[in-house]
Chains A and B, each alone.
Chain A
Amino acid sequence: MDNYSLDDIFIRDFDRKTQEIAVETEDLRVFYGDNEAIHGVSLPFERYKITSLIGASGSGKSTFLRSINRMNDNIDGTRVTGKIMYRDVDINSDNVDIYEMRKHIGMVFQRPNPFAKSIYDNITFAPKRFGEHDKQKLDEMVETSLKQAALWDQVKDDLHQSGLSLSGGQAQRLCIARAIAMQPDILLLDEPASALDPISTSTVEETLMTLKDQYTIIIVTHNMQQAARISDYTAFFYSGKALEYDETRKIFTRPKIKATEDYVSGHFG
């Protein structure tokens, strides 16, 4: 597993005139204490596309993803250096209002984590905190986001039941609805389907496919079929570096790097 070179790297180029970049990292490094976990990753993410981050456990893909909306800031002893360019602003600088930034870059986590509130309140809770009190608008918001997350039909008759009473797949779609109710630009998903059964997984995948019309989606996944099915671009992470980044089709059929080839063909390690 250690015998792949970290210098052997292929990162695809984007034609910046025709392809709009939603967010881009430049030499992003993450430190846990003195230990560098991510070794300078520079990846652009195209707007309205789904990009998968794949790689073995411990390859740093989740750590990288969580840096993009600075969720790693909450962990003691973690330091992130490098730039994260979003709308021409480096959001990894100290003078950025991270709470405001997170309204634009939403996140869905590995474990479904609905609040112990009703479905309705799960979705309207944050918008209300940010000053939206118009009942009609809130109602619309609930309906739209639940429809987008493909959950509306199953819960519309009882929006006041607890979010905790939903099944795993439904709860995860509620979390997606909650994230998109904020109307973010970018949606980060950290293995959103890893705790779900195959049927729920495919529902979540369908949901994501329809969402990419309006959102830029970056998704960490362990499931290579999933990456192949839903994403436009794929980045392969290995030992804290992005070794290869290309169109998903190419990654899975003609990878340029040996490590990628071994990983996607199951001969890894």
Chain B
Amino acid sequence: MNPKQADKLATGVLYTVAGIIIVILASLLGFILFQGLPHVSWHFLTSPASTFEAGGGIGIQLFNSFYLLLLAMVISVPIAIGAGIYLAEYAKKNWITDLIRTSIEILSSLPSVVVGLFGFLVFVLQFKMGFSILSGALALTVFNLPLLTRNVEDSLRQIHFTQREAGLALGLSRWETVVHVVIPEALPGIITGMILGAGRVFGEAAALIYTAGQSAPALDFTNWNPLNIASPLNIFRPAETLAVHIWKINSEGIQPDAAAVSAGASAVLILAVLLFNLVARYAGNRLYKKMTAS
């Protein structure tokens, strides 16, 4: 076989492998959407779930998913940015830094069900937060923080050190250089990582089953007092999310239309995650253009 033929063969094999991946992804997406979308209606998206009879919706679960996501991001993003800046810009190369990095890597490879059980033992039982949005958000933080931190650190590291030297040589302090030179340039990467992380969190079930709970008490969407148990804003109420709902229906659902509800919820979930990915891409590109050619 001459080099040209070998090249052709290799190209062919690579195309086939790539093709298989695309076919799997497309058929999975197609199947879920095909099965689920017919059940998705405005009523389905807004009405509460029903336990025994048909016709229940996913309104509360959908709201819970977004609210939990928001809280988890509010907690984890500032910590991740701080930790990422520390690791990329300030940490010296020594054993403490290595230890932190190794810990982050181990944390990020923990199975989410383990994170969930940890959250159950620590937040739910030890700190007596019960099954609540707060417990769930904290568990999701544990689950999400390592990856976000890693993403912030990597994004900052991708900015060439000559950019930092440029800032320092002009008499700017290290902090000013980081804040005004490095972060703006790294922002597109950071944002993309955040949104992808959000997608992961949005679809997470195992970490939430034992922390945010598996029940979705009825909410009164006219009550915005965060201390009232019926208020959607209350962070101490149990809150079953969309992903947990799907898991629950499939494992113990007794509604006559359980399969349909599950399919519809899955379609909604996948669409939301897809949306996150597209938004991440779009926002990343837009920001990059804005930051570099403003």
Contact = CB atoms under 8 A, between A and B. Distances in A.
A103 B291 CA distance: 26
A126 B162 contact: no
Given A71-B165, A113-B163, A116-B184, A179 B170 contact: yes
A154 B169 CA distance: 25
Nearest to B288: A116
Interface residues of B, number: 25
Nearest to B170: A126
A102 B168 contact: yes
A165 B169 contact: no
Interface stretch (A24-32, A104-112, A196-204, A206-214): A104-112
Contact of A102 (B92, B93, B171, B185): B171
A22 to B, nearest CB: 17
B158 to A, nearest CB: 12
B186 to A, nearest CB: 10
Contact of B166 (A118, A162, A175): A175
Given A111-B162, A116-B184, A106 B93 contact: no
A76 interface: yes
A109 B166 contact: yes
A116 B292 contact: yes
A226 to B, nearest CB: 21
Contact of A113 (B93, B162, B180): B162
A195 B270 CA distance: 49
Contacts of B160: 113
B92 A76 contact: yes
Interface string A14-45: 00000000000000000000000000000000
A180 B184 CA distance: 24
A163 to B, nearest CB: 9
Interface in A53-98: 69, 71, 74, 76
Contacts of A103: 170-171
B173 interface: yes
Main secondary structure of the interface of B (DSSP, over half): helix
A161 interface: yes
Contacts of A117: 184, 291-292, 294
A133 B169 CA distance: 21
Contacts of A74: 164-165, 168, 174
A130 B171 contact: yes
Interface in B134-185: 160, 162-174, 176, 180-181, 184-185
B24 interface: no
A37 B70 CA distance: 53
Contacts of A10: none
B293 interface: yes
A100 B163 CA distance: 19
A142 interface: no
A71 B163 CA distance: 13
Contacts of B172: 99, 126, 129
A125 interface: yes
A102 B293 contact: no
B165 A109 contact: yes
Contact of B294 (A69, A111, A118, A165): A118
Interface in B176-222: 176, 180-181, 184-185
Contacts of B291: 116-117
Given A74-B168, A102-B171, A164-B292, A129 B176 contact: yes
A109 B169 contact: yes
A125 B185 CA distance: 14
A23 B162 CA distance: 25
Interface-centre pick from A107, A111, A113, A118 (highest chain B CB count, 10 A): A113
A152 interface: no
A178 interface: yes
Contacts of B167: 115, 126
Which one of A115, A130, A164 has the highest number of Cβ atoms from chain B below 10 Å of its Cβ? A115
Nearest to A66: B165
Contact of A71 (B169, B176, B294): B169
A116 B181 CA distance: 8
Contacts of A179: 169-170
A165 B162 contact: no
A170 to B, nearest CB: 16
Nearest to B294: A118
A227 interface: no
Contacts of A106: 169-170
Which are the 10 A-B pairs with shortest beta-carbon distances?
Answer: A126-B170, A113-B162, A107-B169, A103-B171, A102-B171, A162-B293, A116-B292, A113-B166, A116-B185, A99-B171
Given A99-B173, A182-B170, 8 more contacts: A71-B169, A74-B174, A113-B165, A115-B167, A117-B292, A118-B293, A126-B172, A165-B293
Interface of A: 69, 71, 74, 76, 99-103, 106-107, 109, 111, 113-118, 121, 125-126, 129-130, 160-162, 164-165, 175, 178-179, 182
15 contacts: A74-B164, A74-B165, A76-B93, A102-B169, A109-B162, A109-B166, A111-B162, A115-B181, A115-B185, A117-B291, A125-B180, A129-B180, A161-B293, A162-B292, A165-B293
